Structure 1
Amino acid sequence: MASGTPVGQSGNTFTYRSTAPVASYATTLAVGRYRKLAATGPRGIPVTTWYRAKDAQYLPMFKRSPAFLTWLEERFGPYPFDSTGLVMVESNSAMETQQMVTLGEVQPARGDQMFDLTTLHEYAHHWFGDAVTLTDWRDMWLNEGWALYVQKLYEKDRYGLSDAELVKSSRQRDGELRKEYGPPSKPDRAEFGATNVYTCGAAMLRQLHQALIDAWLDSPTTPPETGPLPR
């Protein structure tokens, strides 16, 4: 299994193709005895989950991918690629590998809510991090800040996280993380990928959302016709 869209098999050779550019860090390859779960996402997008026999207990979770993609499309426009899905691997982490999210086996074991938030986060990266990617690693906050903020919006929508709770926790952690790891656009080199590039960026985006979008929605004047507003 690999990132991209499967286009055929000849003997022991499997071919995957992407019609869009792919950043090298956003590719994946998994080899093993996999089972296939095929589904259809919004606008007919093929959604494929590759799982091992021991992962079968989590099939109800895996079947939520089309719903995640629908939620994301309603807010950020069409999914940017030709296909998508998940591949389960022996890992503790998850990664936004383009068109085929790499999901560590511990993720579904953490329970329904954490599985949903983690998987939604990785799918969100296909808009923020994959379709639009960074120039160098100092810009990592643009990937992770956006994906975490989208995750928090989903948590508000589906799991009852209040805006007050989001703002309070973000402000507190922002100061702590900047002190420990540096500002998100100039982090401590020894702490690559630390939480500051996630939380501090997401906190800034919440402030921009509040200042630009919420203020616009609350305005007594009618906004210009510019298409759907972010939620």
Structure 2
Amino acid sequence: MYFFLLNLSFVDICYFSAIAPKALQNLLAERKTIAYAACAAHMLFFNTILTTECYLLVVMVYDQYVAICKPLFYVIIMSPKICAQLVAGSYLIEVIGALVQTSGAFRLSYCSSNIITHLFCDIPAVVKLSCSGTYNSELMLFAVSGIIAISTISIILLSSIYILSTILRIRSTQGRAKTFSTCTSHLMAITMFYGMAICIYVLPQSED
């Protein structure tokens, strides 16, 4: 658990490192600019971090599932080697996914407005500036994002259902409360993370 928390904390620090320096610079600078290559690198780095956190949250839910539902096999299933492979896989898969999303956004032609109405180079804000047909790129970006969202949410929900059913079968009220308390903070973090993502990327946005 602490190994996964360490990696989750590292990813959260990277969030701050990806967004805050340029945002602070723009607050102090009279002319707020970012180079084309820097914008692409910023987008790649941010999307890698964002989707890596999705899969780390999935791995942590799976870890809780094994600990609560299969405690006698926990040491075998979640060995240090397996934990390292799960974390490494989360980073590797999402580097590939972020490369696909970023290359899709920067294959478009940008020949009109170059003002990004966003705090950083996020995909929706950049694609909106394109003067070429964006249907195929938006479709590809939507497909990649949809696969990530559906796969992670499905695994989280399925694992949470198994965890909850196992907790409810515990006869001791004290044991049931103690086991449930270990899952509450993580479930709240997942709810806040996906709730924020839905508000930003799924709900309709103002055109102003």
Higher share of residues assigned helix: 2
Q: Which has the higher contact order (CA 8 A, sep 6+)?
A: 2
Query: Per the shorter chain, which TM-score range?
Result: under 0.3
Question: TM-score, normalising length from structure 1?
Answer: 0.25
Question: TM-score, normalising length from structure 2?
Answer: 0.28
Q: Over alpha carbons, which structure has the higher Rg?
A: 2
